[in-house]
């Protein structure tokens, strides 16, 4: 019996060229669900936990909040995160149920609206250290106006563009998955659990309980946290890239297919082979999982998930 935490990239829900209609997103979730059904069909003893991103959905919903604020109170990021967790969780839950039925798989599926603990003392909350861009691109003038009116932190994240400014919010380190024990009980019972969507709802601990904060947790790091919480044997990030690469974009580019030992991957990280805007967070999350648990982490293409689990595809980081 193998327990697998599957972290799904944004392409599993919305392609870059798409508008994000219900039909488009349900179709993409359907394609993904069929891949997950194949993973279980290939080995019925596999236990599955799923997490996912929510960037486009939360960005659109935050924009809707802003547009309608004159008539309806705008909701903060923790509420937007909860709302999109429910939205995407429903879509995957619905399509997984259909895929399991088609394959004759007898598994229950449930989505958890899931909180993740962070610290108020995290450096991301200090001054203008916030690093996660959210929302639309803005001109310098628009950004400065919003900074003055709303107190936003704004940064020029794309200096070459006319509208290269965006709001940035803290992206604190995930410390603990609040509903981890609930998720583990469900997985132990054979249920396919969808949790920690979009990095989870960021909360801090107070004397009264938990309080949501204006932040966005890195979904891959939160996925590694969830993998540890549910005692996953494999942490697998499925994306639109079939493997991590060294010397990316250069004539001597090399795909890291197969097993790479942790110390060697650590060398690659220090040499700067994985950019912060793409492969870096995925490799970082995998490294954290392997270092803490001494178990396997995989980066692979969604379409090659079954072959990746068989060791034929993808980058496998092992201790």
Is 270 known to be catalytic? no
Give dist(CA 175, CA 52) in Å, integer.
18
Provide the pLDDT for residue 112.
97
Q: How confident is the model at residue 66 (pLDDT cuts 50, 70, 90)?
A: confident
- CB-based burial of residue 115 (10 Å sphere; 0-12 exposed, 13-18 middle, 19+ buried)? buried
Among residues 28, 54, 282, 314, the one annotated as catalytic is: 282
Is 11 known to be catalytic? yes
CB atoms within 10 A of CB 262: 16
Range 45-67 burial, b when 16+ CB lie within 10 A, else e:
ebbbbbbbbbbbbbbbbbeebee
Q: How confident is the model at residue 182 (pLDDT cuts 50, 70, 90)?
A: very high
34, 23 contact by CB (below 8 A): no
Is 282 known to be catalytic? yes
Among residues 14, 132, 295, 313, the one annotated as catalytic is: 132
Give CA separation, 110 vs 40, 97, 117, 210, in Å: 16, 10, 21, 23
Provide the pLDDT for residue 58.
87
78, 33 contact by CB (below 8 A): no
The two structure tokens encoding residue 297: 């982490």
Give dist(CA 64, CA 111) in Å, integer.
24
Of all helices (H) and strands (E), which one includes residue 97?
helix 77-103
Among residues 219, 223, 295, 313, the one annotated as catalytic is: 219
Specify the CATH number of the domain 3-119+194-318. Answer: 3.40.1160.10
Provide the pLDDT for residue 47.
98
Q: Is the pTM of this model over 0.85?
A: yes
Provide the pLDDT for residue 135.
78
The 3-state DSSP class for residue 305 equals helix
Average pLDDT over residues 264-274: 95
The 10s digit of each residue's pLDDT in 188-204 is: 999 999 999 999 999 99
pLDDT > 90: percent of the chain: 81
Q: Where are the domains of the chain?
A: 3-119+194-318
Give dist(CA 302, CA 262) in Å, integer.
23
pLDDT over threshold 90, residue 212: yes
The 10s digit of each residue's pLDDT in 101-149 is: 999 999 999 999 999 999 999 999 999 999 988 877 889 999 999 899 8
Look over the chain and give the mean of its residue pLDDT values, rounded to a whole number. Answer: 94
């Amino acid at each position: 019996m193998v327990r697998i935490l599957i972290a799904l990239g944004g392409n599993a829900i919305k392609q870059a060229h798409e508008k994000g209609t219900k039909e488009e997103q349900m179709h993409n979730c359907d394609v993904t669900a069929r891949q997950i059904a194949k993973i279980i069909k290939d080995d019925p003893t596999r236990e599955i936990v799923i997490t996912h991103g929510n960037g486009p959905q939360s960005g659109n919903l935050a924009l809707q909040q802003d547009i309608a604020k004159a008539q309806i109170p705008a909701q903060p990021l923790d509420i937007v995160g909860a709302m999109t967790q429910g939205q995407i969780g429903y879509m995957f839950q619905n399509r997984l149920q259909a895929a399991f039925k088609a394959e004759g798989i007898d598994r229950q599926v449930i989505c958890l609206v899931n909180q993740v603990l962070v610290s108020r003392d995290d450096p991301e909350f200090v001054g203008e250290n916030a690093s996660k861009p959210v929302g639309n691109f803005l001109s310098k003038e628009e950004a400065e106006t919003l900074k003055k009116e709303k107190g936003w932190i704004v940064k020029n994240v794309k200096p070459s563009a006319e509208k290269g400014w965006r709001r940035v919010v803290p992206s604190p380190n995930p410390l603990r998955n609040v509903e981890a024990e609930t998720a583990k009980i469900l997985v132990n019972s054979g249920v396919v659990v969808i949790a920690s969507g979009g990095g989870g709802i960021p909360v801090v601990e107070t004397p009264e309980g938990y309080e949501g904060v204006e932040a966005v947790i890195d979904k891959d790091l939160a996925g590694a946290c969830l993998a540890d919480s549910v005692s996953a044997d494999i942490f697998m990030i499925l994306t639109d890239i079939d493997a991590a690469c060294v010397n990316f974009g250069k004539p001597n580019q090399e795909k890291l297919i197969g097993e790479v030992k942790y110390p060697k991957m650590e060398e690659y990280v220090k040499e700067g082979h994985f950019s912060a805007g793409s492969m870096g967070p995925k490799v970082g999350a995998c490294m954290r999982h392997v270092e803490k648990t001494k178990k396997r982490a995989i980066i692979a293409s969604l379409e090659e998930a079954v072959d990746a689990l068989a060791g034929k595809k993808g980058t496998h980081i092992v201790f």
